[in-house]
Amino acid sequence: MTQMKIPVVRNILQANERLAAENRKCFDEAGIFVINLMSSPGAGKTSLLEKTIDHLGGRIKMAVIEGDLQSDFDAARIQKRGVQAVQINTDGGCHLDGNMVQLALQALDLTGVELLVIENVGNLVCPAEFNLGEHAKVTILSTTEGDDKPLKYPLMFQLSAALVINKIDLLPYIDCDVQKIRQSARQLNANQEIFEVSCKTGEGLPAWFAWLEKKVQQTRAR
């Protein structure tokens, strides 16, 4: 049985890579920097997006693809801030894939867009396995999830260009060692940027905004 499953999984991933490559070509030709935002449910992806839009929205034209099992709550939150957002409902699927993103792009006007954020389904496993054509994967880990997650779910942290440790305002009230998170994440990927932030208080967010703006500027200069 195992021998029969391996080719099927390989074929699915290979097909996804082809679609992701098509997406990447579209992004590059349009001069858009694209991030794949990943985390477990409730870590703060949409809250981080809202703060980012509020800070960068006047200087960088953004668009958002929202992925979730059901509902359009997150897309509605983004649209209220004057940013294009399209919702993908996976109907039980645990991740987005290249085909879903390709279809969602048809509902967006990418004219002038410089930053596209794909908010993936809340899950620390499957989203890391599927390339969407993005330029950078970004993982959000909230302090309330504990400091053991990088070593328990290594692939996501290995592949991420940046790690955002959110909800640091709660550190006085919970058992979480941020330095342990940093050490584990560095062990898995020594090159990733790490930001300690609170979307509630705003602490640490300027460094995240600066990193993102720099990436957009680098894309402009190509």
Task: Give residue-wise pLDDT tens across range 96-117.
Answer: 999 999 999 999 999 999 999 9
Cα–Cα distance for residue pair 180/5, rounded to 1 Å: 37
Phi and psi torsions of 195, nearest 5°: -125, 130
Longest dimension (CA), the chain: 55
Q: Kindly report whether the global pTM for this prediction surpasses the value 0.75.
A: yes
Cα–Cα distance for residue pair 27/11, rounded to 1 Å: 24
Determine the 3-state secondary structure of 58 from DSSP: coil
The residue-averaged pLDDT of 198-202 equals 98
Cα–Cα distance for residue pair 126/203, rounded to 1 Å: 30
For the chain, domain boundaries: 2-220
Residue 41: name the closest of 78, 80, 86, 74 by CA: 74
CA angle 67, 73, 79 (to 5 degrees): 90
What is the pLDDT, as a whole number, of residue 1? 38
What is the pLDDT, as a whole number, of residue 57? 86
The CA radius of gyration of the chain, in Å to the nearest whole number, is 17
Report residue 7's pLDDT band, with 50, 70 and 90 as the boundaries: low
Task: Give residue-wise pLDDT tens across range 112-128.
Answer: 999 999 999 999 999 99
Any idea which fold 2-220 has? Rossmann fold (3.40.50)
